Structure 1
Amino acid sequence: MSGVPETSVVFLWHMHQPDYRDCLTGEYYFPWTYLHAIKDYTDMAAHLENNPGSKAVFNYVPILIEQLVDYDQQLNAYLTKGELLSDPLLALLTNAERPEPGSERFADLLQKCTRANRERIIERFKPYQHLMGLYDNAQEVEGADRYFNQQYLTDLCVWYHLGWLGETVRRDNPIIERLQQQSFNYTADHCRDLLQVIYSAISGIIPRHKKLAESGQAELITSPYAHPILPLLLDFNSTHDAMPAAPLPNSGEYPGGEARAHWQMQKGLDVFKQHFGNMPKGCWASEGALSDAALKVLSEHGIRWTATGDSVLFNSLQNSANSTAADKIKSEPDTRHTAFQVGEGDVHVFFRDDGLSDKIGFEYANWHADDAVGDFVHHLENIAKAAPADNHTVISIIMDGENAWEYYPENAWYFIDALYKKIEAHPYLTTRTYSEVLELADNQAPLNTIPLEHLCAGSWVYGTFSTWIGEAEKNHAWDILCEVKRAYDQVIDSGTLDQQQSAEASLQLALCEGSDWFWWFGDYNPSDSVKDFDRLYRQHVSNLYTSLGLVPPSSLDTPISTGSGAPANGGVMRQGHQ
């Protein structure tokens, strides 16, 4: 016997993409939803299936669920009835009409087929590397891309999708093996075969995760519908809890924010239940953004547990009202790896181990998988040994379940598999879900929660809201949203829209309230990504005006932000601590 109490390790994998569709036309602007589906969502399910002694929590954002279902339905309609696809990049694998070489549309599609990790994806496959070399050379001569023909675009597109496939699909599918051996000169039949594989991967995501949940291996949870920052909808001033000097939007507050927070929660739960069959017990409030008021909203919607970053805990311990908890954690730091209860609320709060989670997100990609797993488990062991025996120790590893893996060799296949196996065989570390932790406490011994009188409002990123508010361009984007929300309220109150029109406008407003647009505004981020998300945000706001029967203001033609930074991992992830 080890003499160390059994210690729970909870992996919470967050799956999230904003809505990349133009909801008025149905066209997808960017392919990230289905690309992550065929690469990451399939692989993450397979890793758990291949390690039946392991458990994990998966957070599926409702707007992501709806897009996955949409792609599933569209691919089925194309493969069975020949109906057109609304994603122009995916449509390159069909018999749909193509833009002419040399046209702006042709050049845009070429460029999109190059947006993959150069080292881990493109250079892994010699044919893809060769095609990219031709593209790179053409960029040195203005207008050279007009000399690329349709066959080149087809070959580049096929390799783009082959490169983005998950390892479970690549390793187990003879069709993919044949396509990779083909190398060049892909035909319509080859493209259809690839589309069939893509369809199979996407259509299996929800059923596979449902089966994992039914077996007890996975806990499935969700977020507010379009991934808004709940505390900011409720009160811009919550920003000052962790950033007292931060400037706020000129609007002062988000009009009707409390009602919208409840709408986003209820709509999210409805979508989750529709597709997964039950109500979740936990909720990853978008970006782990919490406040006392946000916890109250979660409680009113029946949520039993939530989580955020440990910087929120550390900020909260600075408040004199939490002196008892602060003294306890100061004397025994590893007692923080447990459940917390805030005030009189009934929602248990778990705090992410930012250091360990960020090791997976930002450090281990360049390690040998066995060394990385050994180092990670060693840190887990140290926490387990140092924590009090009666602490109900729960080590929370919470991170992006999709963006990190393309920086690893072979989509982190070796690392994730070895990690699950190492913990599964461990004498006192065991993977659990949060609901299982709470159920064990209910059935065996009361959970030794640590009380907090007040939660310092913040997110898993730095323990603040600085990623979404408090900077000129981000605040300007909030003012744009507040302006269109006031217009929305006036039109809805006037009764000029029928029930269906009102519902459509409310959905469009929800997309505008999403966190992603504010994440990308600012000089910290790379210009290409900022341009993409800036454009889509303004399009969503413009579409909202149109859905209200109003003319969008001409100011929406002006970009909000340009970006000029070069952050780690392209800015798609952040570290918990600054």
Structure 2
Amino acid sequence: MFGRKPAQKKLKLVLCWHMHQPEYRDLNTGEYQLPWTYLHVIKDYIDMVAHLEAVPQAKAVVNFVPILLEQIEEYARQVSCYLNDRIAITDPLLAALVAPSIPADPESRLKLIKDCLRANRERQINRYAAFRKLADMADWLEHHYESLNYVNSQFIADILVWYHLAWTGETVKLTDSRIKSLIEKGSCYTLHDRIEVLEVIGEQLSSVILRYKVLARKGQIELSVTPYAHPIMPLLLDLKSAHEAMLTAPLPELEAYPGGEERVVWHLEKGVQTFKRFFGFTPKGCWPSEGSISEQTLKILGDFGFDWTASGGSVLHHSFHLPVNKRPPGIHHPYRLDGTDIACFFRDDGLSDLIGFEYSKWHADDAVNDLIHHLENMASNELGDTVVTIILDGENAWEYYPDNGYFFLSALYQRLTTHSRIELTTFSECLKTKADVKPLSRLVAGSWVYGNFSTWIGDADKNRGWDMLGDVKWAFDKALASKRLTDKQVQEAEFQLAVCEGSDWFWWFGDYNPGEAVSNFERQFRLNLANLYRLLGEEPPAYLAMSFTQGSGAPAMGGAMRPGIE
């Protein structure tokens, strides 16, 4: 008799979706400066959880930035208060959606109209003939300023409704009769229609976190956390760590960020505390902001009690070039750095970038077939217990896909869960089933963008931002040492400092980015710093009144995403 052929071992695949928005409020006034948090909730975070709910056999890791969770909660509260008690909403665009009248002056009207064009023209605006017509009219108005006096309230109402319909998730458009009816109506929207849109938005805001929590309870997803306000931990710990992957990059005048390790611990403690408040348990894993790691960062994460972390494949490739790391077995394994207690998974940058930058141009079935073909080749050719890791933002890619990636994501989960040689899993499950964790003697510090920190430090504008942040941190330390602040003032100042330390401001500094994005984020960074000085009882430095960076570039995907491989 012939013996049975042993069952072929399945390739383990981890899909990790990172949900991230910085703090967009002016913490002095409570007014939101940009609407991206609530817009990404109703378009992306809702769709992403709905796709998982539709395929219960699918598994994924979903990472939330704590400061995003708090903003979602605040938006839900504000919308509820408006709908129940007509208390004003502090996001200008969301407030305009239900405003009884339009702005009186032409400049305010033009700003509101232009704000309603901040969407993907091909995928979100031109998809709907009625919205495209409004957008064409808006383009004309921008070049005929004197005609703004003749813009009536109906034009403003219609473009506001269409903007929010375009930003509504595909799974909501397919299932919510109110949204279907409003899309079919096409024009002449009433105040009742606009309030109905807000009611739908409020429902999404109030339920989205719970829906992820339910999937985590069922064991379908693993939820993980990022340091509270998304700082680049290796740079807070040691600015010179940038030189490990960029030997000749110029650095700020600031030699070291004052009290950096203390601030890293603060962000981790506050992040876990916030995560536990929303989800009810302590996360086992931490996706460090932008996948940024260093040897010191890994040690702190391990000491903090996390079982796993993750980063970009380019970080591991750079580390493989160190002579001490002999005979590397490849990126499709977790690693443990000598002297640390945490497993580190590394992103397959090639596969992740295909989803982020290429497959949006393909037919959904062809894209999924291509991805599975790559995975099948890996399953056939790689030896041992391999784990393929795909990590990317959970929001930024989908506006470039037809129908917000609906057909791609639906097909992806269906095909992966029924594939005989691929097993969807999570990082914690990999460790629980004794995945082969390889040793790593040394690590080159870097991030998931190019394997270095060039997105946040190393050119004149980014370095200027670090020097400005260093100045306010010295003022913060001096104020705390003086004991002149009350406990409440200290708490407010710590929160404001955390917002200033977020990575997003530095991401957008530099002329290779789009002008409007650079202006928006640079202006808010200066506002954040000025607000902190005022909380400390000091007059902000005069330089905070002046712009220090501008953009004129046109990077892929608007600059909100960058590939892992340079």
Class of the TM-score when normalised by the shorter of the 2 chains: over 0.9
CA RMSD of aligned residues (A): 1.1
1:398 to 391, 399, 402: 391
| Corresponding residue of 2:382 | 387
1:137 to partner: Cα distance: 1.3
2:433 paired with 1:411: no
Distance in structure 2 (CA, Å) of the matches to 1:467 and 1:575? 11
| Corresponding residue of 2:163 | 160
2:226 paired with 1:238: no
| Corresponding residue of 1:299 | 302
Q: Which runs of 5+ in 2 are unaligned?
A: none
| Corresponding residue of 2:353 | 358
Distance in structure 1 (CA, Å) of the matches to 2:230 and 2:447? 13
1:15 to partner: Cα distance: 0.5
Distance in structure 2 (CA, Å) of the matches to 1:42 and 1:171? 13
2:68 paired with 1:64: yes
1:110 to partner: Cα distance: 1.3
| Corresponding residue of 2:89 | 85
**Relative to structure 1, is the Cα distance of residues 97 and 29 closer, same or farther in structure 2, using a 3 angstrom cutoff?**
farther
Q: Which runs of 5+ in 1 are unaligned?
A: 330-334, 442-446
1:4 to partner: Cα distance: 3.6
2:230 to 206, 227, 238: 227
1:299 to partner: Cα distance: 1.4
Please tell me the residue identity of whatever aligns with 1:410.
Answer: D
Distance in structure 2 (CA, Å) of the matches to 1:554 and 1:216? 53
- Matched residue of 1:430: which SS? strand
2:47 paired with 1:52: no
Runs of 4+ more than 6 Å apart = none
1:142 to partner: Cα distance: 3.3
1:392 to partner: Cα distance: 2.1
Indicate if the aligned counterparts of 2:234 and 2:292 stay in contact, CA closer than 8 A: yes
Please tell me the residue identity of whatever aligns with 2:169.
Answer: G
1:321 to partner: Cα distance: 1.8
Indicate if the aligned counterparts of 1:18 and 1:514 stay in contact, CA closer than 8 A: yes
Distance in structure 2 (CA, Å) of the matches to 1:271 and 1:43? 24
Indicate if the aligned counterparts of 1:101 and 1:150 stay in contact, CA closer than 8 A: no
1:133 to partner: Cα distance: 1.1
1:396 to partner: Cα distance: 0.2
| Corresponding residue of 1:367 | 362
Indicate if the aligned counterparts of 1:170 and 1:177 stay in contact, CA closer than 8 A: yes
Distance in structure 2 (CA, Å) of the matches to 1:392 and 1:98? 62
1:2 to partner: Cα distance: 9.2
Distance in structure 2 (CA, Å) of the matches to 1:109 and 1:494? 45
| Corresponding residue of 1:457 | 445
> Where do residues 198-209 of structure 1 align in structure 2 (5 Å cutoff)?
198-209=201-212
2:182 to 167, 171, 179: 179
2:460 paired with 1:472: yes
Indicate if the aligned counterparts of 1:517 and 1:537 stay in contact, CA closer than 8 A: yes
Please tell me the residue identity of whatever aligns with 1:344.
Answer: G
Please tell me the residue identity of whatever aligns with 2:259.
Answer: G
Please tell me the residue identity of whatever aligns with 2:422.
Answer: L
Distance in structure 1 (CA, Å) of the matches to 2:248 and 2:133? 52
Distance in structure 2 (CA, Å) of the matches to 1:98 and 1:554? 36
2:503 to 509, 515, 529: 515
Distance in structure 2 (CA, Å) of the matches to 1:265 and 1:363? 34
Please tell me the residue identity of whatever aligns with 1:216.
Answer: G
Distance in structure 2 (CA, Å) of the matches to 1:268 and 1:143? 50
| Corresponding residue of 1:558 | 546
Indicate if the aligned counterparts of 2:303 and 2:341 stay in contact, CA closer than 8 A: no
Distance in structure 2 (CA, Å) of the matches to 1:2 and 1:137? 68
Please tell me the residue identity of whatever aligns with 1:138.
Answer: L
Per the normalisation by structure 1, the TM-score is 0.96
Please tell me the residue identity of whatever aligns with 1:483.
Answer: D
Distance in structure 2 (CA, Å) of the matches to 1:3 and 1:566? 50
Cα offsets for 1:261-317 (capped at 9, x unmatched) = 100111111111011111110001000000011111211221110111110001001
Please tell me the residue identity of whatever aligns with 2:131.
Answer: Y
**Relative to structure 1, is the Cα distance of residues 145 and 98 closer, same or farther in structure 2, using a 3 angstrom cutoff?**
closer
2:343 paired with 1:348: yes
Please tell me the residue identity of whatever aligns with 1:244.
Answer: L
1:556 to partner: Cα distance: 0.5
Indicate if the aligned counterparts of 1:57 and 1:433 stay in contact, CA closer than 8 A: yes
1:385 to partner: Cα distance: 1.2
Indicate if the aligned counterparts of 1:84 and 1:96 stay in contact, CA closer than 8 A: no
Distance in structure 1 (CA, Å) of the matches to 2:500 and 2:324? 36
Distance in structure 1 (CA, Å) of the matches to 2:90 and 2:233? 31
2:479 to 485, 488, 491: 491
Distance in structure 2 (CA, Å) of the matches to 1:362 and 1:146? 42
Please tell me the residue identity of whatever aligns with 2:406.
Answer: W
| Corresponding residue of 1:435 | 428
- Matched residue of 2:12: which SS? strand
Distance in structure 2 (CA, Å) of the matches to 1:97 and 1:141? 22
Cα offsets for 1:98-122 (capped at 9, x unmatched) = 42141x3222111111111000010
> Where do residues 233-382 of structure 1 align in structure 2 (5 Å cutoff)?
233-323=236-326, 327-329=327-329, 335-382=330-377
Cα offsets for 1:43-102 (capped at 9, x unmatched) = 000000000110001111011000000001111111111111000100112246642141
| Corresponding residue of 1:577 | 565
| Corresponding residue of 1:332 | none
**Relative to structure 1, is the Cα distance of residues 328 and 519 closer, same or farther in structure 2, using a 3 angstrom cutoff?**
closer
Distance in structure 2 (CA, Å) of the matches to 1:96 and 1:214? 43
Indicate if the aligned counterparts of 2:66 and 2:226 stay in contact, CA closer than 8 A: yes
Please tell me the residue identity of whatever aligns with 1:162.
Answer: L
- Matched residue of 1:321: which SS? coil
2:38 paired with 1:34: yes
1:28 to partner: Cα distance: 0.4
Indicate if the aligned counterparts of 2:514 and 2:551 stay in contact, CA closer than 8 A: yes
**Relative to structure 1, is the Cα distance of residues 2 and 115 closer, same or farther in structure 2, using a 3 angstrom cutoff?**
farther
| Corresponding residue of 1:149 | 152
1:178 to partner: Cα distance: 1.1
- Matched residue of 2:506: which SS? helix
